[in-house]
Chains A and B, each alone.
Chain A
Amino acid sequence: MQRKSIACIILTLAIVFTVALALIVCQPSGVPQKTVVVYTSVDQVYSEPVFKDFENRTGIQVLPVYDVEAAKTTGLVNRLIAEKSNPRADVFWAGEFSQMILLKNQSVLAPYQSPSGSDIPAQYHDTEGYWTGLGGRARVFIVNTDILKPADYPHSLDDMLSPAYPGRIGIAYPMFGTTATQAAALYSTLGYDKAHAFFSNLSERGVRVVDGNSVVKDLVVSGQLDYGLTDTDDACTAIAQGSHVAIVVPDQGAGQMGTLVVPDTVALIAGSPHPAEGKVFIDYLLDKNTENDLVKSGWIQVPSRNVTTVIPCLNGTVIKPMTVNYQDIYDGVEMTKTDLADIFVR
């Protein structure tokens, strides 16, 4: 008898469920006719104002999907690959370039050369026009100024191995995010042996490896680390918040290799549902004024073109970028990540 009673409950709940489902599915979406779906790994706090401004200017509604650092770059890129057969996104706006090359190789992207990007230097363009870069961020040291005096600031990545710094140094896991991209750039520039030795030594001397660039920043700000390697946007945020930290751009001297600059990239998705609106968005994003706005908001510290905004946290420092080939870096990313997992995850 008990089972019969439970069956009756199921009937009632099934009705409730069916009605609820029908209401959910049939609810008016309220979506205007012109929309563009943008997947972005750029922080919401920076990308959202751009979307709002685009909506105000064009009347096209942006439906964004944001990524988070905690997903360890396994979020939107893998979603785009998984959705490849039936794409839902129109545009992917990434905070770096290696993911974009991966997506191109996976046939997720469609070629589109925006007229707005014609004044962007050639190194920011994919040779086949699948993606375009704009300004971006640089890899820098963030230093706690309460702990280290200017004379003691590190000036090169090699300083991280120096006995002068007894160990309160931090980096993010080099298998993920821009730290992985920088590691791949080092493998590409220095060669496997030197780069492998560098990271092995880092690991052996007990450099603190943490869960993301923002964590490096948090730990330096709170004085738990003397200094760490992070992105300019993280470091500039800390400075803007009044934290007792300074930015040091590594390897800027004569004969030194410079630091990695990681540009934003944007691309149209192949077979996207709203390609025309997608192109309008890409044109808007690659416009010089939008890049200037992104510099102003604090997302871009290394613009691709001359913009009017001055970046306060860098004090007018001109960053010497590392000379790299994006394709070479991408080609080495998988091997680098596997090698670094062997070194650091144990």
Chain B
Amino acid sequence: MKDRIVPLIRMRGCITLSAVAGTLLLALAVLIIFGPLAGLLFELARFFGAGGGGSALAGLLTGRRLVLLIQSVGLAAAVTAAGICAGVLIATALWRRSRAFSFGILLLVLALSLIPPYIHALTWSSAITLFNQGLTTIGAAPLPSSGWLVSFWVQFMAMFPLAIFLSCIGFASVDRTLVEVARTVRPDSEVLQKIVLPLAAPSLVAAFGFLFVLSCTDYSVPSLFGSDTYALDIFSVYSATGSAGAALITALPLLIITVAVLVACRSGIRRLAQTPNWTVGAWDNPPVVPGPVRLFQEGAFLLLGLQVVVVFSGLVYATGSWAKLSSALAFSAHEIGDSLLIVACVIAIGIPLAIVISRELLLPGVRGSLWWGLILLPVAVPAPLIGIGIISLWNNPAMPVLYGTFLMPAFAALSRFAAFAAIILYVQIRAIDPALIDAARVFSRDTVATLTKVTLPLLAPGIFIASAVLAALTLGELGATLIVTPPGFGTLAIKIYNYLHYGAAAEVAGLCLFMVAATLVAGVCVAGAVAWWNVRGPGSRCKKSVMDHD
């Protein structure tokens, strides 16, 4: 009896302490993630106070802006829909492939997602020119090299890798036992249509929202091909007026649309009731898809192959030689180190914050809904405005210690991307079977052991994935980082864009190749860590101990 009481007392002590720590972390999350929005609201109030609000609001209602908004939303919707469709085709085609092949594809698309959209645009622009030269040689009419069609194509190809990655996650969230049961009574095509797709739909809708926001806020690809978007107009206003308030007002229509899309996607995620298995592999007996679908799947693989060939051949050709690659890396060692430091900082701070937020997202009622609305808001705000909000909040005499340190770019990335980590962990926490935790609590005498041997192993896949997503997004962040990066500090993204202007194609291509290679290596390490954790590490011991007690 005495043996039982001591752990209970320990556990209560732990709960009290953890409640305090949880509250503190939540307060910190509010400060870091929503603080920039508060700073922006302050700037907005100042703008209205100076009398600029009326004219800025009136300027919103012009026909030109309405047309731009419709064009932008249309392009983003088309790109996203096409991306998700192609992603679904590849994700379902991977069912028939080996686990190693699927893993390789996932790593590849994650690495491709890190390449700045502008690089995709430039390599595709060159490819189209080359193709047109070939067509002209044989006397055929060349393809259009600018306009909405080309903008759609290049933006679609730039988003394609991320769409595949997110679609794969979507299908990984489908509980295969449900599918297998259905397959015993219905043909595969019907199971796919009536079971698999509806089960994956919430995740795919979430992926749609994410890609839609990315597409809506990017102006670099469309503008290279002569298509103007609303995001460009926001920058145009910001550049003309130098006022964050004016830019924020101009951004309002796009902000409302993107937040509405994200909130709509949120309902999908909240309904996600299945057990996700991030590390899901190939099926022993994969569902058979109808012939035409299989044809489309092969077509989607061809597209991916085309994207890989165009981008990698473009990058390798531009890099030129190993000597140029190594010199680019040596020349950017400082920026590589700084970028990795920021990434480490974002993960170290972001994961605890994401866990507390995911707990809030789990809450029913108004509080949970409010958190869903709030957490998605910074995602839709243009990046430079987040930077200005951070300056407004942190650059004052009351907080002199942190401003000017590399925590600022980390906070910028956290404000913009913590929502994604929180949502991933939300899904992961929902997936944990409470019976496992309860069993561990009842039979374990040690809270720390429960934590390290049961709970953490169960959360680990989500933590790994959330860390990878945070790392990938942080590495490529430019708009907000530029505004808040401390003096003497530099990131890889800033260096790449700086050299892009100079025309140092070899250096830029070399650094992009490095980012891709680093992602591949990191991905292999994360996969190795997950495998070790589940097979030989605490994950396996957790399962074993729970099963023993059962």
Contact = CB atoms under 8 A, between A and B. Distances in A.
Interface of A: 1-17, 20-21, 24-25, 31, 37-39, 43-46, 61-79, 81-83, 85-86, 88-89, 102, 106, 173, 175-176, 180, 208-215, 217-219, 222-224, 234, 237-238, 241, 333-334, 337-338, 341-342, 344-346
17 contacts: A2-B429, A5-B441, A5-B455, A61-B488, A67-B482, A70-B220, A71-B384, A79-B388, A79-B483, A82-B391, A82-B395, A85-B395, A88-B395, A89-B487, A175-B239, A210-B224, A211-B224
A175 B22 contact: no
Nearest to B240: A337
A44 B499 contact: yes
Given A3-B359, A337-B239, A8 B14 contact: yes
Contacts of B487: 37-39, 63-65, 88-89
Contacts of A1: 434, 437-438, 441
Given A66-B490, A75-B483, A6 B429 contact: yes
A219 to B, nearest CB: 8
A346 B482 contact: no
A82 B244 contact: yes
Nearest to B493: A68
A49 B285 CA distance: 62
B331 to A, nearest CB: 10
A2 B22 contact: no
| B interface secondary structure, majority | helix
B395 A83 contact: yes
A74 B233 contact: no
Nearest to A168: B145
Interface stretch (B107-115, B198-206, B500-508, B509-517): B500-508
B501 A74 contact: no
B479 interface: yes
Given A2-B437, A24-B405, A209-B226, A43 B498 contact: yes
Contacts of A7: 14-15, 18-19, 22
A5 B239 CA distance: 50
B397 interface: yes
B348 interface: yes
Contacts of B403: 86, 88
Interface stretch (B121-129, B262-270, B366-374): B121-129
B126 A10 contact: no
A73 B242 CA distance: 9
A82 B385 CA distance: 11
B405 A25 contact: yes
B238 interface: yes
Contacts of B19: 7
B225 to A, nearest CB: 9
Nearest to A345: B228
B239 A176 contact: yes
B498 A345 contact: no
Contact of B239 (A25, A180, A210): A180
Contacts of A63: 486-488
B25 A214 contact: no
By Cβ-Cβ distance, the 7 closest A-B pairs, closest first, are A63-B487, A63-B488, A337-B240, A11-B18, A13-B352, A7-B18, A68-B497
B45 interface: no
A78 B242 contact: yes
A1 to B, nearest CB: 5
B232 interface: yes
Given A61-B488, A82-B483, 4 more contacts: A24-B405, A44-B499, A210-B223, A234-B503
B302 to A, nearest CB: 26
A16 B345 CA distance: 12
Main secondary structure of the interface of A (DSSP, over half): helix
Nearest to A13: B352
A14 B25 contact: yes
Contacts of A176: 235-236, 239
Contact of A17 (B11, B348, B490): B348
A72 B240 CA distance: 10
B288 interface: no
A74 B235 contact: yes
A247 to B, nearest CB: 14
B224, B440, B501: which has the most chain A beta carbons within 10 Å?
B501
A63 B402 CA distance: 17
A6 B242 contact: no
A337 B244 CA distance: 16
B226 A345 contact: no
Given A43-B502, A345-B236, A218 B434 contact: no
A338 B243 CA distance: 14
A72 B239 contact: yes
A21 B349 contact: yes
Contacts of A15: 21
Contacts of B237: 341
A61 B488 CA distance: 9
B67 A346 contact: yes
Contact of B355 (A9, A68, A102, A217): A9
Contacts of B242: 77-78, 81, 102, 106
B397 A212 contact: no
Nearest to B63: A346
B392 interface: yes
B177 interface: no
Nearest to B433: A2
A190 B232 CA distance: 27
A45 B499 contact: yes
B538 interface: no
B64 interface: yes
B224 A215 contact: yes
A10 B68 contact: no
Contacts of A37: 487-488
By CB atoms of chain A within 10 A, which of B24, B146, B235 has the most? Answer: B235
Interface in B224-263: 224, 226, 228, 232-233, 235-242, 244, 247
B450 A5 contact: yes
Given A1-B437, A86-B396, A333-B240, A24 B345 contact: yes
A86 B397 CA distance: 7
A106 B441 CA distance: 62
Contacts of B129: 222-224
Nearest to A339: B240
B447 interface: yes
B386 to A, nearest CB: 12
A344 B497 contact: no
B495 interface: yes
A82 B500 contact: no
A83 B348 contact: no
Contacts of A77: 242
Nearest to B59: A338
B228 A69 contact: no
B485 interface: yes
Given A4-B11, A86-B397, A70 B118 contact: yes
Given A20-B349, A74-B239, A338-B240, A224 B145 contact: yes
Given A25-B405, A45-B504, A66-B490, A337 B236 contact: yes
Nearest to B62: A342
Nearest to A243: B503
